[in-house]
Structure 1
Amino acid sequence: MPVGVVVRKSPGVTRWAKWSWKAVAILPGAGPADWAVLRSEGDNVEYHAATVPLELWSTDTEAYLTAISDQIPCVYVVMRPTDGTDIPYDVLLITASPYEAQDYADSAEELVEKIPMTEGLVAWVRDFANAHHVDEEFIKRRRDKKRIDQKEDGRGDARISQATDVYRAPRRKQTGAIH
């Protein structure tokens, strides 16, 4: 489903950032856009930054069910900084999976914004998840009987023979000749 992303530009609150950019809304079913001005009020400007496809995958239904079961169901907009042109961010993607959004947020290279879903979008995601979700049976992992506490591989420096301080640095051997 094509989804438009609305980005708000407002004055920065610190002397280091002249402007603050934030994805604030979505437009399900929107047409193509390229930073079209939607409205302007003083220094605040809202843009229809881009329209990107919201793709749902049958393997991610558990994540979608998690997203729509939140108190406020949300989608996540991922934006990547540009190279300093007039357009500060490229809208990379929109996802209904909180797990995928977390992966992008962990890298700290992209800006990830959480935006509430519209009722129609919630119904669309719910219908998809219900149609494709398959519960996976939990399989408890069994440990093998191998004892790994008997040997200390990789601990300390192998060139040090004494067991008292395995973390100290090795010394050069004294040759007896004085230079």
Structure 2
Amino acid sequence: MSSAALPLVRIPVGIVVERCKAGSRWADFVWRAVAVLPDEPRTKPWTVLREEHGATLFYAGSATVDLYPSETARYRDNLASGNPSIWTVLSPAEGAWPYSVTAATADPAEGEAFTEAGGNLVEPVAIPEMLRGAIASFVAEHHVEREFFKRTRR
């Protein structure tokens, strides 16, 4: 997304992360985002939500899903896919916790772009119904079908 463009809508979300024991001698744990909460909870980041069967769920922190009118075709395609998702991005961090919440996006291309930084953990997770409705409304209001122009060689 261009830094000059400002989002028309910013939707706060919370990111839930799972930590499981790794079955490897090279890593102690495997981390992955497992859910997006449809609002920003009043919980401190890295609060334990549940522990069971060797896995621990944490509220990792918050992000915003930013919606831009220029990206409505991507949001529409995401919603129409068999598995509409929000791409969550965790980046390596220094300190008590190995990752920090960097971003959340409904744009599959933007989610894929975050994978270029090798240390990021990028996970698509299911869109909560409330968030799906907000994105669908945004698409309905702002989408403009653009005609495809095929370039011709000279």
Contact kept? 1:80, 1:111, Cα under 8 Å: yes
Q: Which structure has more strand as a fraction of its residues?
A: 2
Rounded to whole Å, the distance in 1 between the matches of 2:118 and 2:89 is 11
Residue of structure 2 in register with 1:159 after alignment: none
* Offset at residue 82 of structure 1 (A): 1.3
Which residue number in structure 1 is paired with residue 77 of structure 2? 66
Aligned with residue 25 of structure 2, among 15, 24, 42: 15
Match of 1:175 in 2: none
Equivalent residue number for residue 135 of structure 1? 145
Relative CO higher for 1 or 2, CA cutoff 8 Å, sep ≥ 6? Answer: 2
Query: Which SS does the other structure have where 1:66 is aligned?
Result: helix
| TM-score, length of structure 1 as denominator length | 0.75
Report the AA paired with residue 23 of structure 2.
V
Q: CA deviation at 1:109?
A: 3.1
Query: Could you tell me which amino acid in structure 2 is paired with residue 14 of structure 1?
Result: S
In 1, distance between residues paired with 2:109 and 2:59? 26
Q: CA deviation at 1:42?
A: 5.1
Q: Which residue of 1 aligns with 2:3?
A: none
Unaligned runs of 5+ residues in structure 2 are 1-10
Q: How many residues align?
A: 143
Contact 1:2–1:31, Cα closer than 8 Å, also in 2? no
Look up the match of 2:126.
116
Q: Percent identity?
A: 33
Does 1:43 pair with 2:54?
yes
User: 2:113, 2:55 → 1: CA distance?
Assistant: 30
| Residue type of the alignment partner of 2:52 | E
Q: When the two structures are superposed, what TM-score results if normalisation uses the length of structure 2?
A: 0.87
RMSD: 1.3
Give the Cα separation in 1 of the matches to 2:33 and 2:109: 19
One-letter identity of the residue aligned with 1:26: V
